[in-house]
Amino acid sequence: MKSRLGSAMRPALMLIGLLLLAGLLIHFFTDNQLSWPAYISMMVFYSLIFGLGAYAAQLRTANDSDSFLLAGRQLPLLLAVFTMSATWVGGGYINGTAEYTYSSGLVWVQAPWGYAMSLIIGGLFFARKMRRKGYRTLLDPLEEKFGKRISALFFLPALSGEVFWTAAILTALGTTFGAIAGLDTSTAIILSALITIAYTALGGLWAVALTDFLQLILLLVGLSLTVPFALDAVGGWPAAWEQYQNTFGAAASFFPSREALGNYYWNWWDYALLLCFGGIPWQVYFQRVLASRDENTAVRLSVIAGVVCLIAAVPAVLIGIAGQTADWSLLNAPAPPDAASTLPWVIRYLTPGWVGIIGLGAVTAAVMSSADSSILSASSMSGWNVYRPLFKPKIDTKNLRKLVQRMIWIIGIAAMLIALNIQSVYELWFLCSDFVYCLLFPALVCALFDPKANGVGALAGFIVAAILRFGGGDATLGIPVLLPYPMMEDGVSLFPFRTLAMTSGLVTIIIVSRIRSFFR
């Protein structure tokens, strides 16, 4: 035990030295005005997480792919709940919730309860069946049902979802770290991404799960500590809530209404269904389900994690309300430059310095706990469902583990590059579930629950769903509206075309599969 801790401490101490050197170089050779207390606290936190990841790498009882990807299928319930919850309650979750609470009203803060519902639905209807079959990844039932090449096609939306998710998470960290520590966003993203990639490649799922345990505790404690100070700075909860209601009116409620949403009513429901069902077909979710000790653990961890996700969103909502109702001129502070900066701005200007440092650590914990999980998930599918079946079917488990470790670096760096070039955390966060909801969810449902589904039907469903989805355009990706959907406003279709694409893809798989079977 002592020798393992000692071995893990050495790379952690080396990391402290490297980060200290980086801080000195930034201080003397750039225009960044570093807040050294905040930077040092971040340095210690990163080193602690990296050391824990290094320690976890030594806990693997075997050096094969199962131990690396699924922790030997030995995750106990408590640790599984923590790693599942920490994965979903990431930087996009926290920053995005505060962002939309600040800018759009509670009615548009859909992601916290939408993703919580996806965990509960996934636990009740998908987790038991996936764990019972002993799959390794989300794509395994698709490969089993539709074949290797069709499974590789569905890898594309699965991969893009995970990469965009990671990019959104890293962007959330950059805005937070930059606001509090005085570091520019790009540098914060690069430093954080490289550290996260390194300990994920080192320890696999055990490293991710153990660091998630610590990160979720830091998140809940840190954000809960900032809320009383933030609300006190704006006159207390009653005054803040009254002003918030006056500002947003009917939109200051989580429940949809025609009064609050107007022409966006059906658009709201489109996004609501997207989050509830688009949050299910994720490798980052099923990796924890499949690593559970048994079926019952898989179901319980999903349902409990859904409840934890709802609770974890409360501080972010309150911080968003505080930011929206604050009179920044009276506080002698600049207003947030954009809605995405709400959470770091509130932490920096509405709380004492020491609380801000703790809050920074809390948000950083949330970011890293999701980034490592997502990078590992995408890399797992790349190695197991694409490289292995298509290029080297007889690869042994040790070499497969090494391949996945290389993919962690490739995918992690790709996500980092995307993060350096995006604006809104929340928009990119939604886009992640958008792809998997429209393209992947119908195929997963049919692979698990339709005995007559086949590869021809799955291919047809994918094509139909892709045409209907991308025909509706996407402002985040710069795709124009191509199909004449109704309910156009300011160049954007408010028609629920995402749900239309998903249901059309689902129906197409069912019908075409039966036609194919009939003529065989």
With cut-offs at 50, 70 and 90, classify the pLDDT of residue 64.
low
Is the pLDDT at 107 greater than 90, yes or no? yes
**Do residue 378 and residue 469 come from a single domain?**
no
Q: Is residue 291 part of a domain?
A: yes
Q: Is residue 247 part of a domain?
A: no
The answer to whether residues 305 and 122 touch, using CB atoms and an 8 Å cutoff, is no
Residues 116-161 pLDDT 10s: 999 999 999 999 999 999 999 999 999 999 998 898 889 888 887 7
For the residues 257-278, what does the mean pLDDT come to? 93
Q: Which residues pair with 489 in a beta bridge?
A: 492
Q: Is residue 249 part of a domain?
A: no
Handedness of CA 299, 300, 305, 310 (dihedral sign): positive
Q: What is the pLDDT of residue 381?
A: 87
**Do residue 12 and residue 118 come from a single domain?**
yes
Q: What is the pLDDT of residue 62?
A: 58
**Do residue 322 and residue 448 come from a single domain?**
no
Highest mean pLDDT range out of 37-46, 344-353, 369-378?
344-353
Tokens for 220? 């809940």
Full residue range of the structural domain in which residue 179 is found? 2-237+268-431
Q: Is residue 14 part of a domain?
A: yes
Q: Is residue 145 part of a domain?
A: yes
**Do residue 463 and residue 373 come from a single domain?**
no
Tokens for 471? 């025909």
Domain final residue, candidates 404, 431, 458: 431
**Do residue 495 and residue 349 come from a single domain?**
no
Is the pLDDT at 5 greater than 50, yes or no? no
Say which CATH number the domain at 417 has: 1.20.1730.10
Instruction: Report percent pLDDT > 70 for the chain.
Output: 89
Task: Give the type of residue at 331.
Answer: L
Q: How many residues are given for the chain? A: 520
Q: What is the pLDDT of residue 203?
A: 75
**Do residue 188 and residue 276 come from a single domain?**
yes
Alpha helices in 421-490 (DSSP H): 425-435, 441-449, 455-470
For the residues 288-311, what does the mean pLDDT come to? 93
Specify the number of domains making up the chain: 2
Is the pLDDT at 254 greater than 80, yes or no? yes
Rounded CA separation 27/202 (Å): 30
**Do residue 403 and residue 451 come from a single domain?**
no
**Do residue 386 and residue 461 come from a single domain?**
no
The answer to whether residues 303 and 124 touch, using CB atoms and an 8 Å cutoff, is yes
Q: Is residue 256 part of a domain?
A: no
The answer to whether residues 115 and 277 touch, using CB atoms and an 8 Å cutoff, is no
Domain final residue, candidates 414, 431, 448: 431
Residues 400-416 pLDDT 10s: 888 888 998 998 898 88
- Measure the CA angle with vertex 484, ends 483 and 485; round to 5°: 95
Q: What is the pLDDT of residue 41?
A: 74
Is the pLDDT at 272 greater than 90, yes or no? yes
With cut-offs at 50, 70 and 90, classify the pLDDT of residue 460.
very high
Is the pLDDT at 253 greater than 50, yes or no? yes
Is the pLDDT at 228 greater than 70, yes or no? yes
- Measure the CA angle with vertex 458, ends 453 and 268; round to 5°: 110
Least confident window among 149-153, 421-425, 439-443 = 421-425
**Do residue 109 and residue 195 come from a single domain?**
yes
The more confident residue out of 181 and 494 is 494
The more confident residue out of 508 and 134 is 508
Task: Give the type of residue at 323.
Answer: G
The more confident residue out of 242 and 212 is 242
Chain mean pLDDT for the chain = 84
Domain final residue, candidates 367, 398, 431: 431
Task: Provide the 10 A C-beta neighbour count for residue 317.
Answer: 19
The answer to whether residues 373 and 162 touch, using CB atoms and an 8 Å cutoff, is no
The answer to whether residues 411 and 163 touch, using CB atoms and an 8 Å cutoff, is yes
pTM, 2 dp: 0.85
Q: What is the pLDDT of residue 504?
A: 98
Residues 354-372 pLDDT 10s: 887 777 777 776 666 677 7
Is the pLDDT at 179 greater than 80, yes or no? no
Is the pLDDT at 52 greater than 90, yes or no? no
**Do residue 335 and residue 480 come from a single domain?**
no
Q: If 0-12 CB within 10 Å is exposed, 13-18 middle and 19+ buried, where does residue 138 land? A: buried
For the residues 285-298, what does the mean pLDDT come to? 92
Q: Is residue 474 part of a domain?
A: yes
**Do residue 173 and residue 294 come from a single domain?**
yes
Decide: helix, strand or coil at residue 479: strand
CA 12 to chain centre: 26
**Do residue 215 and residue 89 come from a single domain?**
yes
Going by the DSSP 8-state scheme, the letter that residue 335 receives in this structure is P
For the residues 30-53, what does the mean pLDDT come to? 74
Q: Is residue 131 part of a domain?
A: yes
Handedness of CA 79, 136, 171, 45 (dihedral sign): positive
